[in-house]
Chain A
């Protein structure tokens, strides 16, 4: 931006008025609490909340015990597989919507957003009806004589992953759709014109054009899934416990806040790395800006 424009745009006072309230809010209700949480993770276990007294690393040692490390890895595994499956389901749908006539696009997008109209808990609860031993899936399978005994679907890792996929779809489809919709359609025509088949056009033009949207969608799915505790809590059995459940348990029945804080701090660090990568490479805006500078 040219220098002379700055003078036009209000002075320091205006900047302070606009910046201070949101910044102070973030400071008080976000940065400071997260730092306190980190500090708490060095306190000894117990039922009192004391910070900065007899610091110890015992909770981090405990976190790195194979058992808790296993839960952390499992959480990453769940988040990764759920994100991948979501992507595989969302991509064709997003592509189909983006290439539909405008009127149909509106309707399909409406349907994609429809689940967000009602509470997530309620929607997950609906999976209990669908996946239960007496649930609709089993009723259907038994009616078709595909299985004799009902399959155990609910309270399994499968149910958790299905729940995650369902939860994430409305967050994965829109960014991919937006990226494809933004794409210059003559790129597709150019590709076909130059002799590429549909499959080649898909691979060489559509997939690269969708990448900013895919990146955004993947992050928007992966990160919340990694820290989720409702979905495994409602749909999962004990073997699908994730790091979010362990943290919640330490703040609940576990009565061990410092250990919960240590796990939360580790999760925060993990996510922060992800978010930082996202800010640097994920957003279409920042990518474009970097290219322009190069």
Chain B
């Protein structure tokens, strides 16, 4: 439905978006995830028509809209700070898109009522934007965009200005709203939790390029670059060398020991230098040496950090490196993980196959 063909954006000598391709299907909840300055907002603004791509084309339903001004694109945007017109009441804000298209008054009234009901703000018509809470303004912005029944709804960090609880609640509602309306959403955020919880597909963007574009599960489980592994969730990284490649096994030598793993980049060959990644929550500590279906490191507990829903242990390995382990709290005895003291020697253990092998 939406296709970006090699679009890029440069401001003078600075390249903000490198040439990139993307196809988004009807009904998708597509998310672009990246830290600030990665080019994600620029990409969104090019789709909306606010910024012109330096090169490349934007196709919507097979029609080239690269040169179509934003007011003639069947695309609407929910802005980061909502951009509600401060001098209009809620009603007039929501009605704006219909009013400027000269829709009959009666139809406007019905559709505004429906749109406000959709976002749960019936009865707020007469309020001014300044009299609404952040969450309410957010909903008005949504209603204002959705009332136009766009082919594509763009959302630019819509939850970042909300407090955490409201933000989490809005995630649910957004996902529901998207499912109910069937409109394709393109959502830009720097918050991985938002991306993972709502999106059908996520593109991780870094320095103007897509690092990886896949389902949230894939993204988490099978990151394809070190950046993705680190940015989505967190990961312990080690240097390694590939020792063996076969269809269902991957041998890597890490810290002088050979490990057998399964997941990793597909184009590895023996002798390649790689990065070996382990997620803290897929590790456990044990006083016993790993079984043969497991891999492990031996080290000493250096520090304990209570996180609330879990506890994080920093284990100093014999080789001097450190590895973080996240231990669920049901393993707590009083305030100690399994009764372990600081400086106690432990094994850090994981199932073979939970490690990730990536290009260095």
Contacts and interface: CB of A to CB of B under 8 A. Distances in A.
B71 A192 contact: yes
B217 interface: no
A184 B141 CA distance: 15
Interface string B31-71: 00000000000000100111000000000000000000111
Nearest to A184: B83
> Which 4 A-B residue pairings sit nearest by Cβ, starting from the closest?
A194-B97, A186-B83, A190-B83, A196-B100
B165 interface: no
Given A194-B144, A195-B148, A208 B70 contact: no
Nearest to B97: A194
Nearest to A207: B87
Given A186-B79, A189-B79, A191-B96, A204 B85 contact: yes
Interface in B67-84: 69-73, 75-77, 79-81, 83
Contacts of B50: 189, 192-193
A3 interface: no
Interface in A108-140: none
A194 B87 contact: no
B118 interface: no
A192 B148 CA distance: 13
A292 B71 contact: no
B130 A194 contact: no
A57 interface: no
24 contacts: A186-B79, A186-B81, A189-B45, A189-B77, A189-B83, A190-B83, A191-B85, A192-B69, A192-B71, A193-B49, A193-B71, A193-B75, A194-B76, A194-B97, A194-B145, A195-B71, A195-B101, A196-B71, A200-B100, A201-B71, A204-B85, A209-B87, A291-B128, A294-B131
A196 B145 CA distance: 13
Contacts of A189: 45, 48, 50, 70, 77, 79, 83
Contacts of B79: 186, 189-190
A200 B99 CA distance: 10
B81 A194 contact: no
A139 B100 CA distance: 49
B84 to A, nearest CB: 8
A193 B70 contact: yes
A195 B81 CA distance: 19
A196 B83 contact: no
Interface string A271-292: 0000000000000000000011
Given A191-B100, A294-B131, 11 more contacts: A184-B81, A186-B80, A186-B81, A186-B83, A187-B85, A190-B144, A191-B71, A193-B77, A194-B96, A194-B97, A205-B85
A197 interface: yes
Contacts of A194: 71, 76, 96-97, 100, 144-145, 148
Contacts of B130: 291-292
Interface string B92-106: 000011001100000
A191 B100 CA distance: 9
B129 to A, nearest CB: 10
Contacts of A196: 71, 96-97, 100
Interface in A200-240: 200-201, 204-205, 208-209, 211
B23 to A, nearest CB: 23
Contacts of A205: 85
A204 B131 CA distance: 20
Contacts of A209: 87
Contacts of A211: 87
Interface in B122-148: 128, 130-131, 144-145, 148
A189 B75 CA distance: 12
B321 to A, nearest CB: 47
Given A193-B76, A195-B148, A208 B100 contact: no
A103 B182 CA distance: 45
Contact of B87 (A186, A201, A208): A208
A187 B72 CA distance: 17
Nearest to B79: A186
A195 B128 contact: no
Contacts of B131: 294
- Chain B CB within 10 Å — which of A200, A201, A211 has the most? A200
- Chain B CB within 10 Å — which of A190, A197, A292 has the most? A190
A211 B97 CA distance: 22
A195 B75 CA distance: 9
A204 B92 CA distance: 11
A209 B96 CA distance: 16
Contacts of A201: 71
Nearest to A198: B71
A209 to B, nearest CB: 8
A78 B100 CA distance: 37
A66 B77 CA distance: 61
Interface string A165-206: 000000000000000000010110111111111001100110
- Chain A CB within 10 Å — which of B69, B70, B75, B148 has the most? B70
A191 B96 CA distance: 8
A187 to B, nearest CB: 5
B344 to A, nearest CB: 51
Contacts of A197: 71, 100
A291 B132 CA distance: 12
Contacts of A192: 49-50, 69-71
